[in-house]
Structure 1
């Protein structure tokens, strides 16, 4: 029997003669809505402490409980029909809006880039080099590659 979902993100596919096709189609659109420009509010393990509204997403932590049990590392999106889970793919990138920082999925683990501070101190100071480094760090932060300084 053929699997009726896409290979990468598990989006539901339609079958010939399938009843209630609109439900499967709508579910696929909902998951795509979560995947396009993926932004999550935060990383958390317990869905019971949340008060989600339609379209909100969270990154499920490493020790999920309650309704998220067994969903570690997935993106959890809320709709009127409940939680929808998206399995991340290699090199997938999301933004965590609570901290305005990126997370990148590599080797089956989410990685959270650390803040890189501008150079300070030293016995020999090169103002032009420091200006160039500051400019590069600023560009990487504005591009969402490095976390923002808050």
Structure 2
């Protein structure tokens, strides 16, 4: 085997010529993946003036130097574009989305936990914390007060996405 099983890092062998080339290729892949951040997951055309170290998740319909690399991570380096095929469990922060994507082994998916809440199946189920609901106090008509409180609880649950609107 001349590559690692998960990330296809080139292996070094005794007596191998130009070991630095293989070692540097492995370092470039590690640099792209370790605590990874990509600019976008919605771009299918390589940018005209990328900065060394910038990466993208190649969108469907890729063209130019990214043709046939959809779903891969494209990273600009001193030597041009380098592509890494994702594996299940890989997570990348996506700058223009403001949250991470993870790869499930087949597709890139939005992270469940985002800055604006917790999502399940693409639906927000927990959002920002709402103001406290005042506890009921004395009242001449208990039913009205109870209904008002229950209504406030229901509004809070709907706002958090815990029940349907």
Within-5 A mapping of 1:1-150: 3-43=1-41, 44-47=43-46, 49-113=47-111, 114=122, 116=124, 118=127, 124-126=151-153
Two-structure CA RMSD over aligned residues (Å): 2.6
Q: CA deviation at 1:115?
A: 7.1
Which runs of 5 or more residues in structure 2 are unaligned? 112-121, 131-149
Q: What's the secondary structure of 2:152's corresponding residue? A: coil
Instruction: Give TM-score scaled by structure 2 length.
Output: 0.68
Q: What's the secondary structure of 1:95's corresponding residue? A: strand
Equivalent pairs, count: 127
Which runs of 5 or more residues in structure 1 are unaligned? 135-150
> Structure 1: how far apart are the matches of 2:8 and 2:40?
23
> Structure 2: how far apart are the matches of 1:108 and 1:64?
18
Higher RCO, 1 vs 2 (CA within 8 Å, ≥6 residues apart): 1
Instruction: Give TM-score scaled by structure 1 length.
Output: 0.74
Contact persistence 2:10–2:22 (CA under 8 A): yes
Q: CA deviation at 1:92?
A: 1.4
Q: Which of the two has higher C-alpha Rg?
A: 2
> Structure 1: how far apart are the matches of 2:21 and 2:13?
12
> Structure 2: how far apart are the matches of 1:80 and 1:92?
24
